[in-house]
C-alpha cells in the first residue's frame, strides 16, 4: 500500500467514524430531551416563574454534549441506555445551571445565549439565581432517585458529579480561577488549569460515570479518564477557536467576544494555527487512550473526531 | 395532687428538658464545627478567594440548628454520632449557601448578617454566587463520600436533601414564592406554604435524615416527619417574632427589617400575641407527634421547647 492510499483509507475511516457518531447523537437526542423534560417540574406547576425560567434555559437548543458522551461511554461498556439517561441528564442540569449563573451581570454579564435572551434578561436576576440553584438540586435528585441504577452506584455517581461540579477540583473552582485571571495576563499552565477545571472536570466525570454505571473495571475507568481529559481539552480549544473563526449565525451569540473582553483563551494565548495543532493532538491522544481497551471504541473515537471538526 | 402542683411539676419538667437539650447542643457543637471544617477546602488552597468566601460565611457563628436537630433525632433512634455528622453538616452547607444567595443585591440585598458584612460585601458578588454554588456541591459530596454510612443509605439521604433544597417541594421553591409575594398582600395559606417550603422543608428533611441513618422503621419516620413539620413552623414563627421583639445586639442584624420591607411574616400577618399562641401550639403539636413512639424522646421535646423560648 502506498503512503497516499494509506492516508486515503485513514481519511475514509475517520469519516465513517464521524458519521456513525453523528447518527448516534441524532438517535439518542429524543431520549435525552424526554428525560430532561421528565426531570424538571412543569411550567404550570407553582412557583410558575421559577419553573418557566428553568425550562427557558434548559430547552434552548443546547448540544447535550455531556449527556451524549455519558451515553456513548456507557453503551460502549455494555450498559443499557435506560440506566444511563437520568445520570446523563443530571450532568446537563448542572451544565445549564452553570450557564445561567455565568451569564449574570456580576459574572460574564451576557444578554444573549443560543440566539435568545439569557435567563436573567428574559426573567430577572433573582429568578435566574434561584433557577440555577434549583437545577443543581434537581441534578443530584435525578441521580439519587434513579431506579434503573442500584443505590450503591447512585452514591458513587453523586460523589463523581459533586466533585466535578464543585471545588477544589471542579467546575466552580475553574470559574473562580477565571474570575481571578480576568484582565490579567495568564501563564499557559494557569490557562490549562482553569479550563481543566471549568469545562474539563465535568466532561471527564460524565465519561467516568458511563463506566461506573456499566460496572466496567478499573482498567476501563483509567482509560476513559484519560480519554475524557483529552476530549475536554479538545472541546475547550475548539470552543475558543469557534469564538474567533465562526459567524454569529453559527454560534447563536456574538463571536469575537472573548477577544474583545481580553479573555485568555487557547486562540488568544497560542494563536489560531498553534491552537488548531493542539486540538488535533488532543484528539489523537483521546483516541490513543482507547487503544489499550478490548472493547469496540469506534463510537468514542468518532465523538472525538466530531468534536475536532465541529462547526458550532 | 392539686391542679397547682400539677402545673408546677409540668413546669419543672419542661425546664429540665430544655436544660438537657441545651447541654446536648453544647456538647455536640465542637464535633459539628470540626466536621464542617473538614468538609470544605482550606483557605490556603487555590482558588483562595473562593475558599475564603466559603469559610467567611460558614464560620460566622451560626446556630447549627439543622445539624443539631439531625444529631438529636439520629441519636434518639440509636445511631452513632459519627454516622450522623457528615449528613448533619451537609444540611448546614446547603443552609449557608442559601443565606449567601439570599443576601445578594438581586435578592434581599443585605449588607450585614450575624454582626458582620455579608459575603458579597466582604468579597464581591461573583465570588458570593460561586461560593454558594460550591457549597451546594460540597453538601452532596459530603453525604455521597461518607464512609460511616452504607452507600444505599447515602443515596436515600441525597434524595432527601435534594428534594428539600430544590423545587417544587423545597427551599428554592419557597424562595421563589417569597419573591412573588414581595410588596403584595398575601393570604395566610400562601404565607404558610411559603414558609413550609423556605425553611420547613430543610428542617423536616434534617429530622427525617436522622431516622434514615438510624435505620428506624416507617412508624418512626412518620412521627418524626410530623415533629419536624411542627418544629419548622415553630422555628419560623419565633424567627419572625424575634425580628419584631429582639434587639440588634441579640440578633447580629437590624431587627424590624421585615416590617420596614413590608415583608409578610407571622408577626405582621397575625400580630405578636396571636403569633405567640401559634408558636406555643406548634411546640405542643411537635411534642404530641412524639407521643406515639416508644423511644425516649425527652431530647427532642427539649429541643422544641428551647426553640419556643429562644432569644436569638
Separation in Å, CA A280 to CA A78, A308, A309: 29, 7, 10
Mean of pLDDT values over B7-21: 77
Contacting residues of A for B106, CB less than 8 Å apart: 124-126, 129
Among A50, A136, A159, the residue with its CB nearest the CB of B136 is A136
Mean of pLDDT values over A147-176: 98
Residues 6+ positions from B261 with CB-CB distance below 8 Å: none
Phi then psi for residue B116, to 5 deg, are -150, 170
Q: Are A176 and A165 in contact (CB under 8 A)?
A: no
B211 pLDDT higher than 60: yes
Interface of A with B in 94-113 (CB under 8 A): 97-98, 101, 104, 106-107
State the pLDDT confidence band at B10, using cuts at 50, 70 and 90: low
Least confident of A241-255, B131-145, B164-178, B199-213: A241-255
pLDDT at B263: 76
Map grid coordinates 466496567 to a residue. A216
Mean of pLDDT values over B141-163: 98
Which residues sit opposite B117 in a β-bridge? B112
pLDDT at A2: 46
Contacting residues of B for A163, CB less than 8 Å apart: 137, 141
B2 pLDDT higher than 50: no
**Cα–Cα distance, A192 to A206 (Å, whole number):** 19
Separation in Å, CA B155 to CA A49, A165, A213, A240: 30, 18, 14, 38
Contact B184/A at CB under 8 A: no
pLDDT at A100: 98
| A78-A202-B51-B251 Cα dihedral, nearest 10 degrees | -80
**Cα–Cα distance, A104 to A114 (Å, whole number):** 15
- B24-308 CATH fold: Farnesyl Diphosphate Synthase (1.10.600)
State the pLDDT confidence band at A181, using cuts at 50, 70 and 90: confident
| Separation in Å, CA of A254 to nearest CA in chain B | 23
Domain ranges, ordered by start, for chain B: 24-308
A104 to chain B: closest CA residue: B126
Mutation target among A47, A147, A186 for the B interface, most CBs of B within 10 A: A47
Contact A177/B at CB under 8 A: yes
Mean of pLDDT values over A54-67: 96
Contact B176/A at CB under 8 A: yes
Q: Are strands A112-113 and B116-117 parallel, antiparallel or unpaired?
A: unpaired
A35 pLDDT higher than 80: yes
State the pLDDT confidence band at A249, using cuts at 50, 70 and 90: low
pLDDT at A184: 81
The grid coordinates of residue A23 equal 447518527
Give ipTM to 2 decimals. Answer: 0.95
Interface contacts A/B by beta carbons within 8 Å: 181
Contact A168/B at CB under 8 A: yes
Contact B127/A at CB under 8 A: yes
Interface of B with A in 137-156 (CB under 8 A): 137-138, 140-141, 143-145, 150-156
**Cα–Cα distance, B111 to B119 (Å, whole number):** 8
Among B106, B136, B141, the residue with its CB nearest the CB of A126 is B106
A195-226 as b/e: b if 16+ CB within 10 A:
bbbbbbbbbbbbbbbbbbbbebeeebeebbbb
B53 to chain A: closest CA residue: A176
pLDDT at B181: 87
- What average pLDDT does chain A have? 93
State the pLDDT confidence band at B260, using cuts at 50, 70 and 90: low
B181 to chain A: closest CA residue: A47
B171 to chain A: closest CA residue: A134
Which one is the CATH code of A12-308: 2.60.40.1840, 1.10.238.10, 3.30.70.260, 1.10.600.10? 1.10.600.10
Q: Are B231 and B69 in contact (CB under 8 A)?
A: yes
pLDDT at B250: 62
pLDDT at B111: 95
State the pLDDT confidence band at B1, using cuts at 50, 70 and 90: very low
Separation in Å, CA B12 to CA A31, B15, B278, B291: 63, 5, 23, 19
Contact A182/B at CB under 8 A: no
The grid coordinates of residue A72 equal 456513548
Contacting residues of A for B168, CB less than 8 Å apart: 41, 45-47, 51
B170 pLDDT higher than 70: yes
State the pLDDT confidence band at B104, using cuts at 50, 70 and 90: very high
The grid coordinates of residue B56 equal 467567611
- Encode pLDDT of B39-91 as tens digits: 999 999 999 999 999 999 999 999 999 999 999 999 999 999 999 999 999 99
Q: Are strands B112-113 and B116-117 parallel, antiparallel or unpaired?
A: antiparallel
Amino acid at each position: 500500500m502506498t503512503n497516499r492510499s494509506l492516508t486515503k483509507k485513514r481519511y475514509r475511516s475517520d469519516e465513517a467514524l464521524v458519521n456513525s457518531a453523528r447518527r448516534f447523537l441524532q438517535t439518542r437526542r429524543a431520549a435525552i430531551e424526554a428525560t430532561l423534560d421528565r426531570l424538571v417540574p412543569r411550567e404550570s406547576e407553582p412557583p410558575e416563574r421559577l419553573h418557566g425560567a428553568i425550562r427557558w434555559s434548559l430547552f434552548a437548543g443546547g448540544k447535550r454534549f455531556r449527556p451524549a458522551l455519558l451515553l456513548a461511554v456507557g453503551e460502549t461498556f455494555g450498559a443499557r441506555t435506560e440506566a444511563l439517561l437520568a445520570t446523563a441528564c443530571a450532568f446537563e442540569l448542572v451544565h445549564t445551571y452553570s450557564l445561567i449563573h455565568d451569564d449574570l451581570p456580576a459574572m460574564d454579564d451576557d444578554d444573549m445565549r443560543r440566539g435568545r435572551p439569557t435567563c436573567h434578561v428574559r426573567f430577572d436576576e433573582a429568578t435566574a439565581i434561584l433557577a440555577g440553584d434549583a437545577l443543581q438540586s434537581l441534578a443530584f435528585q435525578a441521580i439519587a432517585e434513579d431506579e434503573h441504577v442500584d443505590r450503591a452506584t447512585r452514591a458513587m455517581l453523586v460523589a463523581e458529579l459533586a466533585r466535578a461540579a464543585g471545588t477544589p477540583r471542579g467546575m466552580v473552582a475553574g470559574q473562580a480561577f477565571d474570575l481571578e485571571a480576568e484582565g490579567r495576563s495568564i501563564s499557559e499552565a494557569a490557562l490549562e488549569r482553569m479550563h481543566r477545571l471549568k469545562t474539563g472536570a465535568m466532561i471527564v466525570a460524565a465519561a467516568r460515570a458511563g463506566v461506573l454505571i456499566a460496572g466496567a473495571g478499573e482498567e476501563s475507568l483509567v482509560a476513559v479518564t484519560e480519554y475524557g481529559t483529552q476530549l475536554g481539552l479538545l472541546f475547550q480549544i475548539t470552543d475558543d477557536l469557534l469564538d474567533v473563526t465562526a459567524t454569529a449565525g453559527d454560534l447563536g451569540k456574538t463571536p469575537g467576544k472573548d477577544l474583545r473582553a481580553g479573555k485568555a483563551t487557547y486562540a488568544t494565548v497560542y494563536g489560531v494555527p498553534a491552537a488548531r495543532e493542539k486540538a488535533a493532538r488532543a484528539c489523537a491522544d483521546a483516541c490513543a487512550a482507547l487503544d489499550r481497551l478490548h472493547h469496540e471504541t469506534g463510537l468514542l473515537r468518532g465523538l472525538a473526531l466530531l468534536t475536532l471538526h465541529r462547526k458550532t
